[in-house]
Amino acid sequence: MRTAHRTCPLCEAVCGLRLTLDDTGHVTSVKGDPDDPFSKGFICPKGASLGALDEDPDRLRVPMIRTGGEWREAGWDEAFEAVERGLASVTEAHGRQAVAVYLGNPNAHTMAGALYNPPLIKALGTRNVFSASTADQMPKHVSCGLMFGDPLAIPVPDLDRTDYLLMLGANPLESNGSLCTAPDFPGRLKALRRRGGRFVVVDPRRTRTAALADEHLFVRPGTDAYLLFGIVHTLLAEDLAAVRVETAGLAELRELAGEFSPKAVAEVCGVPAETIVRLAHELAAAPTSAVYARIGTCTAEFGTIAQWLVDVINVLTGNLDRPGGVMFAKTAVELGRRSRPYTTGRWRSRVRGLPEANGELPVATLADEIETPGEGQVRALVAVAGNPVLSAPNGTRLDRAFAGLEFMVAVDPYLNETTRHAHVILPPPPVLRSPHYDLSLLFVAVRNYARFSPPVLPPEPGRPSESEILARLAMIASGQGAGADPALLDELILDQMLRRAVETPGSSVEGRDAAELRAGLDGESGAELRLDAMLKLGPYGLSLAALREHPHGIDLGPLQPRLAEVLRTASGRVELAPPQLVEDVARLRGRLDAPPAEIVLIGRRHLRSNNSWLHNVGPLVGGSNRCTLQINPADVARLGLGGHALVRSAAGELTVPLEPTDTIMPGVVSLPHGWGHAGTGQRVAAEHAGVSVNALTDESAVDVPSGNAVFNGVPVTLTPA
C-alpha cells in the first residue's frame, strides 16, 4: 500500500486528492487531500471515482484503426503512419483549409492540451479551428476582450471576501463552479452567508444552489441581458454608480441603457420591475458586491451582451478590481498575454460568414463547413478530447457529416459517438500516469495558487504520453513525418521562449544566455521542461523543483488588485461601450416585444456527470443522475402529458421520460446534455443511454458577437407520447 497525491482533473475546482494504491498500482481509495491549502480536503463523487475511471476496462489502451466498419488494434508507429497518409491525401488534393480541428473540454484540464494544441494548429495551417469554447464560454472571452483588451482577462468574484453575490445561470452545487476556480464552492457560499453576506440566485430552476441562497428569482430563459440592462439602467438613472476605474464610453452606455428601464424589461424577463430596482440598490449599497454569470447566460441568444453587462455592473458599483468585488488572478504561469488590443472577425467562416473569435470559428457551423461543397470544404478532422456529436448544437447533423469525412483522427481514451467516425483513434494514457498542472484554470481562480502533480504511476512501456501524441501529430502536420522525434518540437519551442525572454526589456532574465537557461531546466519530459521554463519566467519566479517540494500545492495568497497589469485596450481604459456590442444591442431591442414561445428548453448539469464522458463509470450513473425532462406539473396537466412526451424543435424530435417538479418555471423544460449513448461498446453507458438534448438544439441559432451556440431558450412543443 502507498499514498500518492495529485490534482483532480475532472472539473474546474482543481481539488487536491489523496490516493491509496496497492502494490499492483490498483487504486484502493481516493479522498480529498486535507493538506491542500486551496481545497482543504474537499472532494466530490467524481473525484472519488478517479481510480475507477482510469481502470475502466472499456478504455482504449492501444491505437485503433478502422477500415470501413471494421476496427482493429494497431501499433503506435503504424497508427501515426496511417495519420500521415490520411492527412496528406486530403491536403495534397484540397489544401490545408480542408483539414479542421475540434478541441474538446478536457483540453482545459491537461498539460498536453494547453502546451501542444497551439503548435498542432499552427502546423496544420488551417483556419478551420473549432472547439467546445463556442458551446460554452466564448461570450465571456469576447466581452472581456472588448472591455479589457484581453480575452483571458476574466475577472472572478472574490468569493471569500464579498458581501453580496448575484449569481445568474450557474449551479456550482452540481457543477462545482466554472470560470471561477473555487474548490469547495458550496462551503465558500455557506461561509459568505455565515459572515452576514447576501447571496441571490437567478435561474429558471430552483436549483440546489438556489436553495442555499438568501433569495432565488426565476428568469425567463435567454433574457438575462434584459434583466442586467434593467439593473444598469437603475444604477445610472438613480445616480447609484460609483465608478473607481478609468473608463471610456460611459455616456454612450447611459444612452443605450435608457430604453431598458426595469418597467420595460420586466415582462420579457419575468422579473418584476421593483425587484430589478431593488437588486440595483442592493448591489450598489453593499460594502462590496460581485455579479457572476455562467453557462445559463453564455449559451443563450444574447450571451455576449449578458457577459458584458455583468462586468459593466461590477464597474458601475465600484467593485471591479477590489477585494470583495471581482478580481483578476495572478497565475504562476502567464500564457501569452497579448500585445495588441483584442478584436474579433479577423476572418469569417466560409459558408455562413460567421466571425472568428480567439482564432476559432463557431462549432455551430462545423457541419456546414463539412457538408457544403466548394473551395475550402472541410474533408478531414483532427479531434482532440471532444465529443461534439453529443455536445454540439444539432449533433445529429454533425453525426451524419462526420460519416462523410475522407479522413478523421481522434485523440481520445474512448470509442464513442464521435470517435467512431475516426479512421484512427490514438488513446492517451490514464490520468494517473500523466503529470498535471492547471495551465488554463488558475487564471480564473479565487485565490492565487499553484500545484504540480507528477505522474502517480510510471508510463506503460512503449506507450506515448498525450503530450507526445499531440507533438507527433504536430510534426506530421508540419511535414516532418510520422517518425520524427517529438522532443525536437519541445526544443524548438523552448528555444523561442527563452530567446524572447532574454531579449525582453525588464524580464527577469533580460540579457542572460538562452542556452545557459535551457541547460538549467528541470523535467522528466518535454512538457515538464516547458512548464519549468514558464514557471521560472512567471511572475512569482517559481520552478518545477519548488513545486515538487510542495506536493500539496502552494498558496500564493488572496487576489490582489491588478487591473493596470491586465488592461490591454487601445484607450488604456475599461471600455464600457465597445462598438461590436453597441451594435448588437439593436438585436436585443428587436426582441423586446417579440411574443415569447409557449415552451422553451434549457439544459442542466448533474453532480455525478461530466458532459458526455463519465457515464461508463458504474458508481456515477443511475439514481438521480438520469436523463429526464424536468417540467412543471402545471404544464404536465395543461398539455395532458403522461410519463413520456414527444418533444419537437426546429432541429429535431425526441421522446423523453418526464420528471415533473415545481422547481422549474412553468413554460420551461430542462434536459441535461451528454446523453444518448449508442453503438460504441461502452457497456455501462449503453445501459444508461438516455437521449441527446443536442438532437433538439438548433445550429442555426448563435449569439452574434461570439458565434456561441444557443442551448438555453430553445423553442419546443410537447405532445403526449
- Residue ranges that bind ligand SF4, judged by CB under 6 A: 8, 10-11, 13-15, 43-44, 46-47, 176, 183
> Interface with ligand MGD includes 599 (CB under 6 A)?
no
**Minimal CB distance to ligand SF4: which residue?**
47
> Interface with ligand MGD includes 135 (CB under 6 A)?
yes
Please report the DSSP string for 468-517 in residue order.
HHHHHHHHHHTTS-TTS-THHHHHHHHHHHHHHHHHSTT-TTTTS-HHHH
Report in angstroms how near the CB of residue 479 gets to ligand SF4 at its nearest: 39
Give the footprint of Mo ion on residues 185-214 (CB under 5 A). none
Contact range with ligand MGD by CB under 6 A, out of 331-339, 369-377, 454-462, 707-715: 707-715
Among the listed residues 138, 166, 146, the one whose alpha carbon sits nearest the alpha carbon of residue 314 = 166
> Interface with ligand MGD includes 105 (CB under 6 A)?
yes
Q: Among 313, 711, 716, 718, which residue interacts with ligand MGD (rule: CB under 6 A)?
A: 711
Q: Among 134, 207, 344, 396, which residue interacts with ligand MGD (rule: CB under 6 A)?
A: 207
In the complex with ligand MGD, the residue whose CB is nearer, 247 or 467, is: 467
> Interface with ligand MGD includes 656 (CB under 6 A)?
no
Contact range with ligand MGD by CB under 6 A, out of 169-177, 276-284, 505-513, 559-567: 169-177
Q: Which does 149 bind (CB under 5 to 8 A by kind): ligand SF4, ligand MGD, Mo ion, none?
A: none
Give the footprint of ligand MGD on residues 378-397 (CB under 6 A). 384-388, 391
Among the listed residues 269, 267, 292, the one whose alpha carbon sits nearest the alpha carbon of residue 201 = 292
Binding mask 10-39 for ligand MGD (x = CB under 6 A): -xx---------------------------
Q: Which does 13 bind (CB under 5 to 8 A by kind): Mo ion, ligand MGD, ligand SF4, none?
A: ligand SF4
Report in angstroms how near the CB of residue 395 gets to Mo ion at its nearest: 15
- Residue 510 burial by Cβ neighbours in a 10 Å radius (0-12, 13-18, 19+): exposed
Cell numbers linked to 660: 415533473
Give the Cα separation of 230 and 391 in Å (integer): 33
> E strands within 563-648?
574-575, 600-602, 629-631, 644-648
> Interface with ligand MGD includes 699 (CB under 6 A)?
no
Give the Cα separation of 301 and 306 in Å (integer): 10
Binding mask 216-245 for ligand MGD (x = CB under 6 A): ---x-xx-x---------------------
Give the total of residues touching Mo ion (CB under 5 A): 1
> Interface with ligand MGD includes 147 (CB under 6 A)?
no
In the complex with Mo ion, the residue whose CB is nearer, 177 or 464, is: 177
Which residues contact residue 232 at a Cβ distance below 8 angstroms, ignoring those fewer than 6 apart? Answer: 253, 257, 260, 309, 312, 313, 316
Among the listed residues 677, 685, 606, 672, the one whose alpha carbon sits nearest the alpha carbon of residue 56 = 685
In the complex with ligand MGD, the residue whose CB is nearer, 156 or 554, is: 156
Give the total of residues touching ligand MGD (CB under 6 A): 66
In the complex with Mo ion, the residue whose CB is nearer, 11 or 566, is: 11
Is the CB of residue 261 less than 8 Å from the CB of residue 272?
no
Cell numbers linked to 339: 500585445
Contact range with ligand MGD by CB under 6 A, out of 239-247, 281-289, 349-357, 405-413: 405-413
Residue type, 134: T
Report in angstroms how near the CB of residue 14 gets to ligand SF4 at its nearest: 6
> Interface with Mo ion includes 174 (CB under 5 A)?
no
> Interface with ligand MGD includes 706 (CB under 6 A)?
no
> Interface with ligand MGD includes 468 (CB under 6 A)?
no
Give the Cα separation of 565 and 392 in Å (integer): 36
In the complex with ligand SF4, the residue whose CB is nearer, 46 or 536, is: 46
Q: Among 136, 224, 466, 698, which residue interacts with Mo ion (rule: CB under 5 A)?
A: 136
Q: Among 139, 249, 578, 603, which residue interacts with ligand MGD (rule: CB under 6 A)?
A: 603
Cell numbers linked to 273: 420591475
Report in angstroms how near the CB of residue 136 gets to Mo ion at its nearest: 4
Cell numbers linked to 138: 466564448
Contact range with Mo ion by CB under 5 A, out of 129-137, 150-158, 235-243, 457-465: 129-137
Give the Cα separation of 6 and 1 in Å (integer): 17
Give the Cα separation of 209 and 352 in Å (integer): 38
Q: Torsion angle of alpha carbons 368, 369, 371, 375, nearest 10°?
A: 130
Is the CB of residue 577 less than 8 Å from the CB of residue 256?
yes
β-pairing, 247-248 vs 574-575, is parallel
Question: Which residue pairs from 104-107 have beta carbons closer than 8 angstroms and sit at least 24 positions apart in sequence?
Answer: 104/131, 104/132, 104/383, 104/384, 104/385, 104/386, 104/387, 104/388, 104/391, 105/132, 105/136, 105/385, 105/386, 105/391, 105/611, 106/9, 106/385, 106/613, 107/131, 107/384, 107/385
Q: Which does 412 bind (CB under 5 to 8 A by kind): Mo ion, ligand SF4, ligand MGD, none?
A: ligand MGD
Q: Which does 199 bind (CB under 5 to 8 A by kind): ligand MGD, ligand SF4, Mo ion, none?
A: none
Give the Cα separation of 328 and 148 in Å (integer): 11
Give the Cα separation of 81 and 423 in Å (integer): 12
In the complex with ligand MGD, the residue whose CB is nearer, 247 or 630, is: 630
Question: Which positions touch ligand MGD (CB under 6 A)?
Answer: 11-12, 104-106, 110, 132, 135-136, 168-172, 174-176, 178, 202-205, 207, 219, 221-222, 224, 294-297, 299-300, 384-388, 391, 411-414, 416, 428, 466, 602-607, 609-613, 670, 673-674, 693-694, 697, 711-713
Question: Which positions touch Mo ion (CB under 5 A)?
Answer: 136
